[in-house]
């Protein structure tokens, strides 16, 4: 019997564009209540500080201090990263290796802006800022819940594979999920996330 851990990681960046600046707009249509970012299992939030005496200055601060897209180097007001640690069990059955069990554990992290001088803005500007951050959180939550709800597909792919192809099966299932996530993100006017799969192939088990 042997156990192997396979990390699967994806990165989603929300690029700064004219329609994504700090302006008053309707919040996106995303799941609410229990589908919030705060309710997402194994998710952490990291903040970067921005400042400004008005929304124009705040937008400039966001552009200067926000994360950068790893491929385009363009600034992004928020970013999210998700990972799936896959643990599966191999057993020898009738002298042959078989995948006996598989478990995929979801985790995520989100980077968001935090206005250090929020009280220095006018009341109406504070409302716009609060809605802006709420929109970023809602978009990240929607995408990460999308992945969370489909983690079982990776387990199913591993269970249907052989011992020697379990790693490739996990990788392929994650890539299919990534493609679906990219389409989902595109429908919500966000940049399709990039995807990385550092997977180590499974060797023959040692009973």
Element (H, E) at 50: strand 43-50
13 burial type by CB count under 10 A (0-12 exposed, 13-18 middle, 19+ buried): buried
Query: Residue 186's pLDDT is what?
Result: 79
Query: Residue 101's pLDDT is what?
Result: 87
80 burial type by CB count under 10 A (0-12 exposed, 13-18 middle, 19+ buried): buried
Chain-centroid distance, C-alpha 147:
8
Asked if residue 5 lies in contact with residue 166, where contact means CB atoms within 8 angstroms, the answer is no
DSSP-assigned letters across all residues of 54-86: SHHHHHHHHHHHS-B-TTT--B-SEEEEEEEEE
Element (H, E) at 193: none
Q: Where do the H-state alpha helices sit in 42-164? A: 55-65, 123-148, 152-159
Query: Residue 22's pLDDT is what?
Result: 52
DSSP three-state, residue 95:
coil
User: Closest Cα partner for 111 from 185, 53, 37, 52?
Assistant: 37
Query: Residue 24's pLDDT is what?
Result: 44
Residues in contact with 67: Cβ distance below 8 Å, sequence separation at least 6, in sequence order: 13, 48, 75, 76, 78, 79, 111
Tell if the pTM clears 0.95, that is, is over it.
no
Each residue's pLDDT expressed in tens, for the chain with a length of 207 residues? 223 333 334 444 444 433 455 554 444 444 445 789 999 999 999 999 999 998 888 888 988 998 887 767 788 888 888 888 888 888 887 888 888 888 888 889 999 999 999 888 889 889 889 988 988 898 899 999 999 999 999 999 999 998 888 888 988 898 899 889 888 887 765 543 333 333 333 433 333
């Amino acid at each position: 019997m042997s156990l192997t851990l396979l990390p699967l990681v994806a990165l989603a960046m929300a690029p700064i564009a004219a329609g994504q600046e700090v302006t008053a707009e309707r919040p996106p249509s995303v799941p609410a209540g229990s589908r919030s970012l705060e309710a997402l299992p194994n998710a952490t939030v990291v903040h970067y500080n921005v400042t400004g005496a008005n929304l124009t200055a705040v937008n400039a601060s966001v552009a200067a201090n926000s994360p950068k897209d790893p491929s385009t180097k363009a600034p992004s007001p928020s970013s999210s990263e998700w990972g799936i640690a896959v643990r599966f069990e191999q057993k020898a059955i009738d002298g042959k290796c078989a995948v006996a069990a598989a478990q995929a554990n979801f985790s995520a992290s989100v980077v968001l802006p935090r206005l250090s001088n929020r009280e220095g803005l006018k009341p109406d500007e504070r409302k716009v800022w609060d809605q802006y951050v709420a929109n970023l959180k809602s978009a990240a939550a929607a995408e990460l819940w999308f992945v969370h709800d489909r983690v079982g597909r990776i387990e199913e792919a591993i269970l249907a594979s052989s011992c020697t192809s379990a790693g490739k099966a996990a990788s392929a299932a994650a890539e299919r999920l990534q493609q679906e996530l990219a389409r989902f993100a595109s429908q919500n006017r966000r940049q399709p996330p990039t995807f990385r799969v550092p997977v180590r192939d499974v060797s023959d088990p040692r009973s």
